[in-house]
Amino acid sequence: MNTILPTPEIAESLTLELRRGSLVLAVLAALQQEHYGYTLRKALAERGLEMEESTLYPLLRRLETQGLLTSEWREEDKRRKRFYRLSIAGAAVFEKLLAEYVGLTSALERILASSAVVTKE
């Protein structure tokens, strides 16, 4: 059955879809350095990627279960915190994802550039 969604909702749904894959890549990239949940969220936000806490923290758990992250409970500022870091398997997966992302972005740039030329003509 074909369904026609209102345009803003289509856009919102596609944006979410686009973001979802990029978030994993961003988290893996940021966790080349050790972070705990809150500082990771701040680090991502400082670089322009806002992420809901209730999305980020379960995502860290999932990535750890998949073996892409390792974690360790440690005390910092008199408080026990769970620190995450990219595992060896995670680093390998990250390399692959990054290569894919770079390929996709450069292809997209070429497509956008050629569309711009066509539009100008």
Whole-angstrom distance, CA of residue 63 vs CA of residue 86: 9
Helical residues (DSSP H) of the chain, grouped into ranges: 7-30, 37-46, 53-65, 88-120
Nearer residue to other proteins within complex by CB, 82 or 97: 82
Whole-angstrom distance, CA of residue 35 vs CA of residue 31: 7
Give the nearest distance from C-beta 56 to other proteins in angstroms.
Answer: 9
Give the nearest distance from C-beta 44 to other proteins in angstroms.
Answer: 14
Q: Which residues in the 19-78 window bind other proteins by CB under 8 A?
A: 36-39, 41-42, 52-55, 57-58, 61-62, 64-67, 69-73
Q: How many residues bind other proteins (CB under 8 A)?
A: 34
Nearer residue to other proteins within complex by CB, 26 or 35: 35
Classify each residue of 58-90 as buried b or exposed e, where b means 16 or more C-beta atoms within 10 Å of its C-beta. Answer: ebbeebbeeebbbbeeeeeeeeeeebbebbeeb
- Residue 64, both tokens: 């750890």
Residues that bind other proteins (CB under 8 A): 3, 5, 9, 12-13, 16, 36-39, 41-42, 52-55, 57-58, 61-62, 64-67, 69-73, 79-82, 87
